[in-house]
């Protein structure tokens, strides 16, 4: 079990959780698990998606390694059974098109889904990140992994530094350049949203994909999100059932580093939400 947990941590850091400013108290970033009922969780220690329609969850492709028909995810404190998974046909690990849709067998009631941002107006917008993965601060980087975090949810803000093609990018700033609750992702929250939320209305702008340009969670690191305005046509076609076989795959063509088909069933059993 300990080996599998260590392995899981190594494959889950492609996308992240919340690393905070060193000069702001952690308590200001902590939120209750009920903070965002639209946030889905796939495994006991993280990986997320966002409800965008009553039976549809938007996430990162690489987060779906154990997500399959008839397995369950947690959303709004309830278990929901998966009907089918749709992974973008052009997903290239570590580069681009890190996006997938999960179709649920039954609609989610009592939760208003997020809408998709479809405008190319993201540059310099302040967006929220949220998740239950690893944490730390910008000086040390991640010091608490997603398993050790034990499900504590945090949220932070960051400003869109680049909006180009299929990607949004954010930089972890410090000092006068940082937002009051500046943060980036740590290990364990692949697929979580970059979003705005006001008056019970939410808009999702991006899906957590990976970090680049430095150590996880240290100041100056860049965080990469898949851009919903770019992928909105693909999302709408999948949901409408148009050309789904030409546009998507039902499972990953390439497993995350450290995983093999031989050990996958055991890993999935150990990390599933019980």
What's the alpha-carbon Rg for the chain, to the nearest Å?
A: 17
H helices of the chain, in order, are 2-12, 146-149, 228-240, 244-247, 264-271
Angle between helices 264-271 and 2-12 (to 10 degrees): 90
For 3-40, the pLDDT digits (tens) are 444 454 444 445 445 899 999 999 999 999 899 999 99
CATH of 2-271, one of 1.10.3470.10, 2.40.10.10, 3.40.50.720, 3.40.50.300: 2.40.10.10
DSSP 34: T
The pair of three-digit structure tokens given for residue 6, joined into one six-digit string: 């260590």
What is the domain partition of the chain in residue ranges? 2-271
Model pTM score = 0.93
Rounded distance between C-alpha atoms, residue 201 and residue 241, angstroms: 26
Task: Specify the pLDDT at position 4.
Answer: 45
Distance of CA 20 to the CA centre of its chain: 17
The pair of three-digit structure tokens given for residue 170, joined into one six-digit string: 């954010």
Rounded distance between C-alpha atoms, residue 227 and residue 195, angstroms: 11
The pair of three-digit structure tokens given for residue 70, joined into one six-digit string: 């008839």
For 30-80, the pLDDT digits (tens) are 999 899 999 999 988 788 999 999 999 999 999 999 999 999 999 999 999
């Amino acid at each position: 079990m300990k080996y599998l947990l260590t392995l899981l941590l190594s494959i889950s850091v492609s996308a992240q959780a919340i690393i905070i400013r060193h000069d702001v108290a952690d308590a200001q970033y902590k939120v209750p698990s009920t903070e965002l009922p639209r946030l889905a969780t796939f495994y006991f220690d993280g990986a997320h998606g966002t409800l965008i329609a009553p039976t549809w969850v938007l996430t990162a492709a690489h987060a779906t390694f154990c997500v399959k028909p008839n397995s369950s995810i947690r959303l709004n404190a309830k278990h929901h059974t998966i009907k089918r998974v749709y992974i973008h046909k052009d997903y290239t690990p570590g580069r681009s098109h890190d996006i997938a849709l999960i179709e649920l067998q039954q609609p989610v009631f009592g939760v208003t889904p997020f809408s998709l941002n479809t405008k190319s107006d993201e540059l310099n917008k302040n967006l929220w990140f949220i998740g239950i993965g690893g944490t730390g601060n910008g000086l040390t980087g991640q010091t608490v992994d997603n398993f050790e975090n034990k499900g504590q949810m945090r949220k932070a803000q960051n400003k869109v530094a680049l909006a180009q093609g299929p990607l949004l990018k954010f930089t972890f700033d410090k000092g006068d350049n940082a937002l009051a609750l500046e943060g980036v992702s740590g290990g364990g929250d692949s697929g979580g949203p970059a979003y705005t939320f006001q008056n019970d209305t939410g808009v999702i702008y991006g899906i957590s994909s990976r970090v680049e340009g430095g150590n996880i969670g240290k100041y100056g690191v860049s965080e990469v999100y898949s851009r919903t305005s770019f992928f909105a046509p693909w999302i709408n076609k999948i949901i409408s059932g148009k050309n789904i076989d030409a546009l998507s795959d039902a499972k990953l063509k390439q497993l995350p580093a450290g995983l093999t088909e031989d050990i996958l069933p055991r890993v999935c059993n150990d990390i599933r939400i019980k």
